[in-house]
Amino acid sequence: MNVIFLREGDARARPVSLSVGRIAAGAMALFGLMPLVLGALAFWLFAHPTPHATASGAAPNALVQVRKLAAASRTDLAGLAAAVGRLRAHASRLDAMSARLGSLAGLPASALSLPAAFSTAQVTPSNGQEWTMSGLKALSRQLRSEFARRSAQLAVLASILAAHRVAARMTPRGWPVRGGWISSPFGPRPDPFTGRPGFHPGIDIAVPVGTPVRAMAAGIVIFAGSDGGFGRLVKISDGHGEVTMYAHLSARFVHVGEVIHKRQLLGRVGDTGYSTGPHLHFEVMLHGVPINPAHFLRLADRR
């Protein structure tokens, strides 16, 4: 096969002779390389996306991440705000309880009130403003600090009240028997058997035989038995030098070493020992010295 090439401006013709065999061989080679060329082109396209495609694909992913972070932040902020609200409500209840305990302990309410910084306004946003995460965390720390301080106060109050309760239970107070009257007071008096001047170290309460006798104070029984002129008697010590004695009993229901509670039944009124009639001899001694029991009697408890 002859192919003639004409060049512009050149009148000469340049014939090229091509054989059919060469053309066929060249076509076969081109068709054989075509799959490799197409495969390389496809790999390049997939491995190297265009900048436009990359940007358009990354933008939605970044937007999704931002939205997720914003939603998580709002959730955390709402949860923290709710937690601070609960802490503040607990602080208010703690404040009320502290004031109640303070009044029972005889302490001024001002010493136990919450600081102004912990008012409800501090937990509720005002003027349309919203809490920030850092602000809520700071308030949460303040509230935890306040709780620690208030817990220490309550521990002190509990100790004070416990001491008051113990003192109240161990201090003679009330009326050892129901009914009756004081037939012989504390102090100097003539001896009822000899008529000579004497001293009465307690008080006598006239009541019928068998009347229940109850403890005026808590303590430990240090004596339970008979002792000459006092007949059957019970002595109770508070462990700090104060002893109460109940004498002329017809029966006793406690023994030495027993722990006694206030108003516990000790025995019954009798007429044992040196006695001019049924009555209870009640005596209070402080470090071995008799003191006037009338100071501890409460007539309201006589009924």
* 283 contacts 210 by C-beta, under 8 angstroms: no
Top-confidence range, 70-79, 143-152, 247-256: 247-256
Query: From CA 181, how far away is CA 171, in angstroms rounded?
Result: 22
* 260 contacts 224 by C-beta, under 8 angstroms: no
- With CA atoms as reference, report the closest residue to 258 among 285, 284, 219: 219
Q: What is the pLDDT of residue 168?
A: 74
Q: What is the share, in percent, of the chain residues with pLDDT greater than 70?
A: 61
* 174 contacts 231 by C-beta, under 8 angstroms: no
Query: From CA 185, how far away is CA 71, in angstroms rounded?
Result: 84
Query: From CA 51, how far away is CA 168, in angstroms rounded?
Result: 89
pLDDT band at 209 (very low <50, low <70, confident <90, very high): very high
The tokens describing 258, both together, are 């027993």
**Of the given ranges (42-51, 73-82, 116-125, 198-207), which has the lowest mean pLDDT?**
116-125
Query: From CA 103, how far away is CA 147, in angstroms rounded?
Result: 20
pLDDT band at 49 (very low <50, low <70, confident <90, very high): low
The gap from C-alpha 104 to its chain's centroid, in whole angstroms, comes to: 19
Top-confidence range, 24-28, 156-160, 214-218: 214-218
Q: What is the pLDDT of residue 266?
A: 97
Q: What is the pLDDT of residue 119?
A: 45
Number of Cβ within a 10 Å radius of residue 223: 13
Per the model's pLDDT, the better-predicted residue between 206 and 107 turns out to be 206
Determine the average pLDDT of the residues in 161-177: 80
Per the model's pLDDT, the better-predicted residue between 152 and 204 turns out to be 204
pLDDT at 188 over 90: yes
pLDDT tens, residue by residue, 115-152: 544 444 444 454 444 556 677 777 777 777 777 777 77
Q: What is the share, in percent, of the chain residues with pLDDT greater than 90?
A: 32
SS3 125: coil
State the DSSP H helix or E strand holding residue 269, giving kind and residue range, or none if neither.
strand 265-269
Beta-ladder partners of 247: 233, 281
- With CA atoms as reference, report the closest residue to 174 among 255, 261, 235: 261
Query: From CA 11, how far away is CA 8, in angstroms rounded?
Result: 8
State the DSSP H helix or E strand holding residue 13, giving kind and residue range, or none if neither.
strand 10-17
